[in-house]
Amino acid sequence: MIRGMLVGAAALAVLGCQATDGTGQTAQADEGGDQAAFDQRVREALLRNPQWLDEVEALQVQRLVMADTRSPTLGRPDAPITLVAFADYRCPFCRQSEEWLFRVAAADPDVRIVFKEFPILGPQSIEAAAAALAAQRQGRYVEMHRALMDVQGEMTPQAIDNAARAAGVNVARMRADMEDETILDQLRTVHETAGELDISATPAFVVNGRVLAGGWDAASVERAIAEARPPSGGR
């Protein structure tokens, strides 16, 4: 969905109105001039430099996933690599990826994790996601996230409350906050973002604007992290 909207953005962001097209010539539309000729120059420049479209797409995706600043994070804010994780607490593949995700967070200071609550497996998933965001208000998001991932069996209200207690969360306050419309709005925003990125399953990851969806594969995510790492290795 994103890529289909990017040729115009690439023309503006990469070429500009007077940018070179890779041959030393300029891709310029004279004021009141031939727009069709300008469009053709843009297409030719993109064909010669297809990486431009990839770069613009990554920037657009990164802006989209980071637009909602309410999302919980783990790691230093200035880390050069941002790993965005879309997950559902009832998804068995999300649970499989969980230990790997936190190993990365602990071992690699160049990586910041951004958590996107993406409940797609029914009402129990929605309740668990709302509970996690309510726990964030008490400064206990990570603890609650991990406790919910450890729930065995059905994600019942009792199981969620037990997870909250294990995470050091005030259950009464959590339950009250779960009714706050802003938490429900945050969940809706994540669903809208996922739709823009054609993400429909969990887990899904975005590494510096590169979307990795369609099945849990640690090697693919690790490769994307390696490719996103600055030559100097970060700060």
pLDDT tens track for 132-147? 999 999 999 999 999 9
Residue 73 lies in a domain: yes
Say how far apart CA 110 and CA 105 lie, in whole Å: 9
Among 27, 47, 63, residue at a domain's last position: 63
For the ranges 54-63, 95-104, 184-193, 206-215, the lowest mean pLDDT is seen at 54-63
**Is residue 235, in this structure, part of any structural domain at all?**
no
Q: At what angle do helices 123-136 and 141-149 cross, to 10 degrees?
A: 150
The runs of H, that is alpha helices, within 67-214 are 92-107, 123-136, 141-149, 157-166, 171-177, 181-196
DSSP-assigned states of every residue in 49-98: -THHHHHHHHHHHHHHHHS-TTS-EES-TT-SEEEEEEE-TT-HHHHHHH
Answer for the pair 149, 98: CB distance below 8 angstroms, yes or no: yes
Say whether pLDDT at 89 is over 50.
Answer: yes
Do residue 52 and residue 161 come from a single domain? no
43 domain-assigned:
yes
| Residues 26 and 81 reside in one and the same domain | no
Instruction: Tell whether omega for the bond before 203 is within 30 degrees of 0, i.e. cis.
Output: yes
Number of domains in the chain: 2
Same domain, 77 and 190: yes
The arithmetic mean of pLDDT across residues 176-182, rounded, is: 96
Same domain, residue pair 113 and 29? no
| Residue 52: Cβ within 10 Å count | 18
Alpha-carbon distance of 161 to 174, in angstroms, equals: 9
Residue 125 has pLDDT above 80, yes or no: yes
By three-state DSSP, how is residue 118 classified?
coil
- Look at residue 229 and tell me whether its pLDDT is greater than 80: yes
Averaged pLDDT, 164-185? 97
Specify the pLDDT at position 11.
46
Residue 233 lies in a domain: no
Residue 181: Cβ within 10 Å count: 7
- Predicted pLDDT of residue 142: 97
CATH number for the domain harbouring residue 78? 3.40.30.10
Query: Containing domain of residue 51, as a range?
Result: 3-63
Residue 149, SS3? helix
Q: Is the pLDDT of residue 75 over 90?
A: yes
94-104 residues labelled b (16+ CB within 10 A) or e (exposed): bbebbeebbeb
Per the structure block, which two tokens stand in for 116? 């996107």
Q: Which two tokens stand for residue 18?
A: 């007077």
